[in-house]
């Protein structure tokens, strides 16, 4: 084929690939938690036709773009069937699958007039074996992807059983629920005939595809269900005293408001509506406060959903809630629960707050972050408002007492308005039956301001344009009186902490208080006869012990200030002046317990191979030393390796050895913490390093080194195949007479942006290449690490006769050798005229040399290497 025909074919191929490209349109539903997931993105076939292939769908879904914007298509009332076109309408309702469909092809067609159709091709049914089913209802706020209502398969055919707590619905005394064969609304089983039961039902028979609900009194039950017959039964588990518990658990008191207030909220629509966070920011600007509020929103979702997002980026490519918690030394973290959960599912609410509190204390750069729970308000059903608000208040107070967190009593301000001005005035706080109007969001923002800064909301002057000055003044008065009169078990501004000891049931729920107890307090402060601790200003960890003839229980709590753990972490700075980080570990010496250079850490993972830990929990000291002839039974763990005789070798490297013994090392991680202290964003890092092998290993899987990177030293992303190094199985597990016996150089560019003032963490994982067996281990080590940001002034180009074992780089206008001292460094211009003559050195100064092309000759031990340098 002629060259021009090849070129034409190439452009035709490129055009074809671009024509059938990703569309930005997704199938979003219960099958993927309603997210815009790459695997569910349609392919644009052209002419308004979009297709998906080889997908199993069930439950409810819509066709939409990532923002529910211009493309948002749903049902216009028809029935979805295989092989039949279904008309869709913009902003329509959810599309429901009557069965599970195995779709070979899904075709979405969008017409110029705005109408659309959907066609599914394939078969009915799923090949998956059902191993669990789910109770979905008021117990989990009808969250069709929540697993808290799981029933697992028993040894009896098609029988499922599990323990589930059923909570009452809004304004009801019973819980409404159905059973689903899988998450995402697939295979519903409900009361026969589609009608709800009435009263307290604990047994009966369900019908597949029925939308009728079962009604059961609130409580915790062992629920059994038969998938063949539809029979179900609910066995109530009564509360039984299981022990004594002092509350709150692991509390923190912070009396001083930090100079910079940084608020993070993990929230849903109740804060997202009307941008309550921006109202707060404007209030702070008006009051000359250095403060900002960052929100992480999942519309309609619970705190547990936030928690289960994962450690890193979500499927949409945004930071998860946990990643947000780890990203800053937040002074205050607001945990906003889904609107009904605190009233209908106290068990989940308690567990969610506990999980988040423990995560914040361990991973937030400020472990003393003040945790705030904004109290939700009852729906605007005025006959039941006060009763439901009382349930909400009791739930929030229970959790606050248990966990030592703070309540912002927004729901009580709603009730104060109802009491003072009636339902018509209170109705003005609702945009529907639950979401706030701008005046309600302003009310909540003012309350958060007073709670955080301990300054009366009535002193605020700012209000948004969406409400009048009179409305704003009224909201500020209610905010002030409500916050001022509300008594929370934890009061940071006064340094008070309310303690209690109670009998709890098997679910951790308080049953009754305990009397005749002797209390002791270690450290400063006062504990009065009402069990209220008051700080005297002494910082530290305090211990409180409660005891009588039957028990002794102890808790600890902290009195301190906002801190920033990351400031205490060792770090290497890189900027426009210092563009290169180089480390050969030769400076750590020969001791077994050698201290690593600043910014470096290392750990051994005991749980599993190929597991990366956290920078913050890694150590700075090695455990063993070795070099030549490392024994086959050498100790596992962290090693300081020497090239040659370990006792005297000056060429060092760090790594380790894994093992298969119980509680032994499964892999080694070497960490580096870098901070961009320059004036501009770093777009990429040029990285090179050596992976050296100090002992052979006969593990059949071989061993490997993989580089990872992270913004916080906790959640890691693989740097990919360019930074993967593999060593195949050796014939035996034994040392080298001259170590290291093998070495592989890795070089590449890591395309990752590091903004000014932000960090990047690197981790080299040294591990068995596959499987779980970590015995017969090779001893791998990291050495000669060079990391640089783009150096636009000088280029280095090795000539064909350059030696592979000579390492060099340019930093700050100097040509520098890595790991060696040259007898001579000679620099010639293009005419062969000598420009520099350096003896017994590892560097040559290039700063005074003019632009042009030069040749550098490195002479060392009768070997010569030539390098071409281009100076711009």
In whole angstroms, give the CA distance from residue 690 to residue 781: 8
Mean pLDDT throughout 43-62?
A: 91
In whole angstroms, give the CA distance from residue 287 to residue 779: 60
In whole angstroms, give the CA distance from residue 749 to residue 624: 33
Mean pLDDT throughout 243-262?
A: 90
Give the residue from 334, 465, 463, 490 showing the smallest Cα distance to 401: 490
Higher per-residue pLDDT: 188 or 735: 735
Q: Return the top range by mean pLDDT from 155-159, 592-596, 862-866.
A: 592-596
Percent of the chain predicted with pLDDT > 90: 62
The predicted pLDDT at position 11 comes to 41
The predicted pLDDT at position 570 comes to 92
Buried b (16+ CB within 10 A) or exposed e, 134-147: bbbbbbbbebbbbe
**635-646 residue pLDDT tens:** 999 999 999 999
Q: Which two tokens stand for residue 98?
A: 């009557």
Give the residue from 162, 214, 165, 163 showing the smallest Cα distance to 188: 214
Mean pLDDT throughout 334-352?
A: 87
Beta bridge partners of 809: 816
The predicted pLDDT at position 128 comes to 67
Mean pLDDT throughout 487-507?
A: 88
The predicted pLDDT at position 372 comes to 98
In whole angstroms, give the CA distance from residue 276 to residue 799: 63
Mean pLDDT throughout 233-251?
A: 84
Q: CB within 8 A of 156, min separation 6: which ones?
A: none
For tokens 């300054």, what's the residue?
455
pLDDT band per the 50, 70, 90 thresholds, residue 872: low
**344-398 residue pLDDT tens:** 778 889 999 999 999 999 999 999 999 999 999 998 989 889 998 998 999 999 9
**298-307 residue pLDDT tens:** 888 889 989 9
The predicted pLDDT at position 20 comes to 43
In whole angstroms, give the CA distance from residue 360 to residue 264: 11
Is the Cβ–Cβ distance between 533 and 544 less than 8 Å? yes
The predicted pLDDT at position 146 comes to 76
State yes or no: pLDDT of 804 exceeds 70: no
Rounded to whole angstroms, what are the CA distances from 2 to 10, 12, 15, 607, 753?
13, 15, 20, 59, 43
State yes or no: pLDDT of 659 exceeds 80: yes
The predicted pLDDT at position 142 comes to 80
Rounded to whole angstroms, what are the CA distances from 433 to 269, 385, 536, 635?
13, 11, 46, 66
Among 123-132, 170-179, 623-632, the range scoring the smallest mean pLDDT is: 123-132
Greatest alpha-carbon span in the chain: 101
**402-445 residue pLDDT tens:** 999 999 999 999 999 999 999 999 999 999 888 999 999 999 99
For tokens 């302003």, what's the residue?
442
Beta-carbon count within 10 A of 522 CB: 13
In whole angstroms, give the CA distance from residue 206 to residue 135: 12
* Pairing, β 834-841 against β 843-845: unpaired
Which parts of 373-466 fold into alpha helices (H)?
A: 385-403, 410-421, 423-427, 438-453
The predicted pLDDT at position 811 comes to 74
The predicted pLDDT at position 18 comes to 40
pTM of the predicted model as reported, rounded to 2 decimal places: 0.63
Mean pLDDT throughout 41-48?
A: 92
Higher per-residue pLDDT: 310 or 805: 310
Mean pLDDT throughout 761-789?
A: 95
- Across the chain, mean pLDDT equals 89
DSSP 663: T
**748-759 residue pLDDT tens:** 999 999 989 889
The predicted pLDDT at position 832 comes to 83
State yes or no: pLDDT of 309 exceeds 90: no
Mean pLDDT throughout 149-175?
A: 87
Higher per-residue pLDDT: 698 or 299: 698
Q: CB within 8 A of 308, min separation 6: which ones?
A: none
Q: Return the top range by mean pLDDT from 29-38, 141-150, 610-619.
A: 610-619
**547-572 residue pLDDT tens:** 888 888 888 999 999 998 888 889 99
In whole angstroms, give the CA distance from residue 392 to residue 343: 5
Strands (E) in 15-82, as ranges, are: 22-29, 41-46, 49-57, 60-65, 72-75
pLDDT band per the 50, 70, 90 thresholds, residue 521: very high
The predicted pLDDT at position 248 comes to 93
Give the residue from 614, 639, 613, 642 showing the smallest Cα distance to 628: 642
Among 387-401, 438-452, 617-631, 805-819, the range scoring the smallest mean pLDDT is: 805-819
CA 734 to chain centre: 42
The predicted pLDDT at position 588 comes to 97
The predicted pLDDT at position 793 comes to 52
Is the Cβ–Cβ distance between 309 and 321 less than 8 Å? yes
Among 756-765, 777-786, 835-844, the range scoring the smallest mean pLDDT is: 835-844
pLDDT band per the 50, 70, 90 thresholds, residue 790: low
Mean pLDDT throughout 274-297?
A: 94
Q: Which two tokens stand for residue 713?
A: 């030293």
Length reported for the chain: 872
Q: Return the top range by mean pLDDT from 56-70, 267-281, 316-330, 805-819.
A: 267-281
Give the residue from 250, 253, 248, 280 showing the smallest Cα distance to 264: 280
Higher per-residue pLDDT: 728 or 810: 728
State yes or no: pLDDT of 125 exceeds 80: no
Is the Cβ–Cβ distance between 201 and 222 less than 8 Å? no
In whole angstroms, give the CA distance from residue 466 to residue 461: 15
Burial of residue 79, with CB atoms counted within 10 A of its CB: 0-12 exposed, 13-18 middle, 19 or more buried: exposed
């Amino acid at each position: 084929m002629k060259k021009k025909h090849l070129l034409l074919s190439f452009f035709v191929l490129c055009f074809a690939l671009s024509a059938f490209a990703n569309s930005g349109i997704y199938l979003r539903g219960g099958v993927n938690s309603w997210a815009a997931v790459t695997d569910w993105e349609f392919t644009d076939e052209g002419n308004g036709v979009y297709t998906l292939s080889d997908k199993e769908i069930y439950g409810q879904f819509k066709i939409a773009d990532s923002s529910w914007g211009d493309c948002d298509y749903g049902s216009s009332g028809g029935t979805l069937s295989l092989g039949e076109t279904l008309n869709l309408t913009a902003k329509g309702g959810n599309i429901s699958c009557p069965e599970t469909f195995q779709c070979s092809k899904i075709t979405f067609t969008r017409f110029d007039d705005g109408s659309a159709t959907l066609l599914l091709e394939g078969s009915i049914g799923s090949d998956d074996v059902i191993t669990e089913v789910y109770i979905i209802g008021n117990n989990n706020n009808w969250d069709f992807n929540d697993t808290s209502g799981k029933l697992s398969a028993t040894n009896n055919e098609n029988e499922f059983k599990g323990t589930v707590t059923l909570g009452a619905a809004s304004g009801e005394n019973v819980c409404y629920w159905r059973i689903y064969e899988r998450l995402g609304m697939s295979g519903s089983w409900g009361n026969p005939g589609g009608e709800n039961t009435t009263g307290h039902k604990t047994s009966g028979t369900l019908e597949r595809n029925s939308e009728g609900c079962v009604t059961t009194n609130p409580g915790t039950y062992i629920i059994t269900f038969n998938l063949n017959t539809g029979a179900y039964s609910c066995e109530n588990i009564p509360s039984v005293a299981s022990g004594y518990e002092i509350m709150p658990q692991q509390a923190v008191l912070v009396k001083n408001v930090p100079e910079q207030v940084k608020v993070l909220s993990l929230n849903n629509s109740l804060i997202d509506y009307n941008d309550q966070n921006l109202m707060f920011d404007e209030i702070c600007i008006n009051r000359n406060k250095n403060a900002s509020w960052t929100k992480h929103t999942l519309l309609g979702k619970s705190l547990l959903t936030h928690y289960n997002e994962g450690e890193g980026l979500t499927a949409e490519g945004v930071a998860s809630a946990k990643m947000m918690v780890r990203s800053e030394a937040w002074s205050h973290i607001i945990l906003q629960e889904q609107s009904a959960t605190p009233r209908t599912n106290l068990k989940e609410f308690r567990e969610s707050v506990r999980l988040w509190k423990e995560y914040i204390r361990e991973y937030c750069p400020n472990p003393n972050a003040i945790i705030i729970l904004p109290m939700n308000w009852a729906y605007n059903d005025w006959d039941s408002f006060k009763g439901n608000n009382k349930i909400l208040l009791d739930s929030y107070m229970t959790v606050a007492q248990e966990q030592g967190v703070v309540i912002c009593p927004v729901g009580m301000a709603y009730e104060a308005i109802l009491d003072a001005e009636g339902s018509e005035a209170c109705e003005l706080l609702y945009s529907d039956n639950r979401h706030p109007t701008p005046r309600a969001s302003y009310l909540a923002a003012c309350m958060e301001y007073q709670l955080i800064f301990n300054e009366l909301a009535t002193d605020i002057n700012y209000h948004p344009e969406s409400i009048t000055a009179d409305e704003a003044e009224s909201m500020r008065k209610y905010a002030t009186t409500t916050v001022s009169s509300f008594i929370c078990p934890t009061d940071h501004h006064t340094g008070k902490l309310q303690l209690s000891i109670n009998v709890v049931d098997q679910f951790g729920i308080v049953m009754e208080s305990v009397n005749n107890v002797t209390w002791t307090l270690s450290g400063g402060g006062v504990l009065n006869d009402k069990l209220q601790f008051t700080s005297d200003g002494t910082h530290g960890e305090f211990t409180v012990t409660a005891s009588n003839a039957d028990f002794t229980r102890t808790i600890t709590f902290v009195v301190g200030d906002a801190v920033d753990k990351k400031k205490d972490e060792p770090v290497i700075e890189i900027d426009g002046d210092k563009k290169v980080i180089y480390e050969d570990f030769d400076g750590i010496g020969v001791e077994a317990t050698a201290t690593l250079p600043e910014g470096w850490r290392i750990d051994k993972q005991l749980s599993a191979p190929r597991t990366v830990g956290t920078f913050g929990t890694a150590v700075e000291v090695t455990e063993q030393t070795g070099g030549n002839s490392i024994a086959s039974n050498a100790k596992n763990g962290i090693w300081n390796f020497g090239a040659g005789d370990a006792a005297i070798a000056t060429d060092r490297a760090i790594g380790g050895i894994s093992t298969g013994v119980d509680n032994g090392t499964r892999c080694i991680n070497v960490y580096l913490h870098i901070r961009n202290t320059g004036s501009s964003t770093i777009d990429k890092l040029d990285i090179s390093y050596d992976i050296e092998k100090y002992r052979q290993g006969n593990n059949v899987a071989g061993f490997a080194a993989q580089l990872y990177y992270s913004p916080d030293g906790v959640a890691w992303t693989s740097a990919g195949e360019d930074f993967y190094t593999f060593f195949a199985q050796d014939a035996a597990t034994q040392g080298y007479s001259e170590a290291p016996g093998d070495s592989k150089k890795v070089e590449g560019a890591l395309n990752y942006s590091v903004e000014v003032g932000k960090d990047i963490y690197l981790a080299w994982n040294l591990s068995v290449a596959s499987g779980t067996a970590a015995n017969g281990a090779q001893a791998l080590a990291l050495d000669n690490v060079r990391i640089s940001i783009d150096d636009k002034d000088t280029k280095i180009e090795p000539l064909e006769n350059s030696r592979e074992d000579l390492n060099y780089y340019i930093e700050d206008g100097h040509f520098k050798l890595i790991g060696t001292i040259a007898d001579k460094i000679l620099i010639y211009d293009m005419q062969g005229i000598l420009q520099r003559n350096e003896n017994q050195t590892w560097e040559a100064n290039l700063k005074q040399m003019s632009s042009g092309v030069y040749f550098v000759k490195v002479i060392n031990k009768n070997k010569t290497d030539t390098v071409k340098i281009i100076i711009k």
